[in-house]
A and B are shown apart, each in its own frame.
Chain A
Amino acid sequence: MVKSFFKRLTSNQLFIPLMALILLAVINLINDPGFFRITLGTNNAGNPVLSGYLITILDYGSELGILAIGMTLVTAASGGQDISVGATIAIAGSAMLRVLCGGNSRPDQIQAPIIVAFLVACIVGMLCGAFNGLLVAIFKIQPMIATLILFTAGRSIAAWINNNELPIVPDPKFSYFGSFIPGIPIPTTVFIVAICIVIIALVLKFTNLGLYTQAVGINENSSRLNGINPTFIKFLAFVILGLCVAVAALIKVSRLSTINYSVIAKDIEMDAILAVALGGNALSGGKFNMWASILGAYVIQFLTTTLYKFNVQSDALAAYKAVVVILLVVFSAPTVRDYMARLGKNMAKRKEAA
């Protein structure tokens, strides 16, 4: 009874990211219980805001959480990853600023409503996704190679959209998306993620998207024989990721009301892929668990924040992260988990024999 419960627990996909989260939490608790303190203060604009490490993690993990949604679908459907998300964030963000500032780098007021700029960014993001999807689904190019194109060219395209200027949005309302709405002490990003999660949950519940995506990822040919169009499903996955990219771009650009083409969302694609892997999803496609991926994204942010807190030396930061990543990924590998399960079984047997 206990054993079967334990087995159910370890075989659950949420087990690895949850364990990682608990482990990180325990380490921080031992090191400094103040880690979990949340305080209510006021910001320089005089509005109430919550602050504390947990709020920081929820806030800064948002972009990654949103990207993890799209990346999970792409991974499941195409059996590959999109490495262009960082660059397409730059493109979508640049397009948003272009609309908001009207090609002028220092406007006195915004030139178009924020919602229009956001919709343009969504279209641009989805077009980039569609371009990747086209290459992958129709031309059957390996996803990593196909997305390498935008990965390489994306940031230059982003710079070109704004004539290589760095526009600054003058309207303080635009910065609400990446910080706080006056009067609401919870970061706006938390609400944005919540909306995204609700939408994808509804889509997965009320449409066949999840089922079809898994079917295509597991066996493209048999899914075609069953009347699913694998080309369209793959294409759709990339377009959805493009939409996620646009939302992430809104948050990123809003945080500082400006953009820096060469460093915005730098290396975020690797974190997004890692989030999917941490969630225990097979990177070769097929079955997926959306919630495990999103949880994985927050684990990564938890780790980043923890490393900053521990005053890890600058030049060693990447190395520490790499070690933790290696451990997490090794422990979530199916072969290691099988081995652990067998080990557990043997121990139980030996106990019985004794």
Chain B
Amino acid sequence: MKKKVLAVFMATAMAFGLMACGSSSQTAAPAASGGADGLIKVGIINNDPNESGYRTANDSDLKAKFTKENGYDASFAYSLKNDEQIQYAQTFIQDEVDYLLLSAADTAGWDSVLQDAQAAGVKVILFDRTIDADSSLYEASIVSDMAKEGQTAVDWLAGQGLSEYNVIHIQGVMGSAAQQGRSGALDTKVAAEANWNIVKQQTAEWNAEKAQQIVQSVIDAGTPFNVIYAENDDMAKGAVAALDAAGISHGVGKDVVVMGFDCNKWALEELLAQNWNYDGQCNPFQASYIDDIIKTLEGGGTLSQKTIIMDEKGFDASTITQEDVDNYGI
């Protein structure tokens, strides 16, 4: 009896769950099928905005750009799972959108659905992430060049003219594009220069607490170091917490150079206060690039290049201004 009650309960819960899913996609559907005259219909598939500050900024940038006022009829769908994203893509193709904008959760598995899109005359634009599919299947891709971000940062560090570089290198999740790009530049430089040493190279998996422990372990060992190269802001923050606890000074003109990535607003404020030295941008503002591409294509023009790499800055604590913090902080 109890089991039956439970089964009924579970079934109802599931039905409600399905209904909930149904209603959320329904809100997307009428907007897309409405298609008021003159508006360009776009379907946007993104990762979950809760994923990170970067994603939140990315999502709000897209939402601000693709509005009715700007001549767009946009529908949004979010998932961190590739198969769900593919389903959303199929829904958008059935709804006959003009453009499909895609930030894929995974690089693989997109060929067949993009072929469907091509057959239906839907133009595909990739943003933020690339996929392993034939480049004829999409119009353009707008991406960050992580290797370039790393190179910019390493060049900046080399420009500091320290007599010796003893670097604590805190890596992101191993194998992610951001980790590979940002690690690659530093590894090459350390291998090439005699006065560049890695004191410690370990992954903190984007996690501030783990970064704090890694730096703490170097401090406990008593190994001297003068640079912290953290592959995102959170980890730099964790590293700085360990420095503070150990009474090691950091920032502009101090003992340890602190470097981070992503340009979170709070991180840029640390730069402004000269507690950190450098922050590399990972540009989440792709909407205007996409907008330009769509305008060009709608005007009958052709794109000069398929892969568009966004401008990304690196901020130096000695030159950053409040304006930079407001404009580039995410």
Residues on A facing B (Cβ under 8 Å): 32, 34, 41-45, 49, 51-53, 56, 60, 106, 139-140, 155-156, 159, 164, 166, 168, 179-180, 252, 255-256, 258, 260-264, 266, 304-305, 308-309, 311-315, 317
Contacts and interface: CB of A to CB of B under 8 A. Distances in A.
Contacts of B212: 255-256
5 contacts: A32-B221, A256-B208, A256-B212, A256-B238, A263-B206
A262 B213 contact: no
A56 B217 contact: yes
B220 A52 contact: yes
Given A51-B246, A56-B216, A314-B201, 8 more contacts: A32-B221, A44-B245, A44-B248, A53-B220, A60-B209, A255-B241, A263-B206, A304-B213
A180 B247 CA distance: 13
A308 B205 contact: no
A260 B217 contact: no
B244 interface: yes
Given A156-B50, A261-B50, A51 B245 contact: yes
B243 interface: yes
B50 A56 contact: no
B203 A315 contact: yes
B53 interface: yes
A115 B205 CA distance: 32
Contact of B220 (A45, A51, A155): A51
A164 B50 contact: yes
B126 interface: no
Contacts of A156: 50
B171 interface: yes
Contact of A305 (B207, B213, B248): B213
Given A168-B266, A256-B208, A309 B221 contact: yes
A164 B56 contact: yes
Contacts of A260: 207-208, 234
A44 B243 CA distance: 8
Interface of B: 2, 6, 9, 49-53, 56, 171, 174, 200-203, 205-209, 212-214, 216-217, 219-222, 234, 237-238, 241, 243-249, 264, 266
Contacts of B264: 166
Nearest to B243: A44
Contact of B202 (A139, A140, A258, A308): A308
B49 A164 contact: yes
Contact of A180 (B49, B174, B221, B245): B245
A255 B264 CA distance: 19
B222 A314 contact: no
A52 B209 CA distance: 17
A252 B243 CA distance: 18
Contacts of B174: 314-315
Contacts of B245: 43-44, 49, 51, 179-180
B217 A256 contact: no
A34 B202 CA distance: 22
A159 B203 CA distance: 25
Contacts of A256: 208-209, 212, 237-238, 241
A82 to B, nearest CB: 20
Contacts of B222: 34
Given A260-B234, A261-B50, A266-B205, A41 B246 contact: yes
Contacts of B221: 32, 34, 309
Which 10 pairs show the lowest CB-CB distances between chains A and B? A314-B203, A308-B217, A44-B244, A263-B207, A159-B50, A53-B220, A42-B247, A43-B247, A314-B202, A315-B174
Interface of B is mostly: helix
A305 B219 CA distance: 12
A308 B246 CA distance: 18
A317 B220 contact: no
Contacts of A51: 219-220, 245-246
Contacts of A49: 245-247
Contact of A317 (B49, B203, B249): B203
A323 B212 CA distance: 24
Contacts of B216: 56, 60
A60 B216 CA distance: 10
Contacts of B237: 256, 258
A164 B243 CA distance: 29
Nearest to B218: A308
A309 B221 CA distance: 7
Contacts of A304: 213
A44 B247 contact: yes
A264 B237 CA distance: 14
A32 B223 CA distance: 13
A106 B245 CA distance: 23
A168 B266 CA distance: 9
Nearest to B275: A44
Contact of A140 (B2, B171, B200, B207): B2
A43 B246 contact: yes
A252 B241 CA distance: 13
Contact of B205 (A41, A155, A263, A313): A263
Q: Which of B206, B220, B243, B248 has the most CB of A within 10 A?
A: B220
A308 B204 CA distance: 11
A32 B217 CA distance: 13
Nearest to B174: A315
B244 A56 contact: no
Contacts of A261: 50
A89 to B, nearest CB: 11
B150 to A, nearest CB: 16
Nearest to B221: A309
B273 to A, nearest CB: 13
Contacts of A155: 50
Nearest to B238: A256
Contacts of A179: 241, 245
Contact of A263 (B2, B213, B220, B234): B234
A308 B203 CA distance: 10
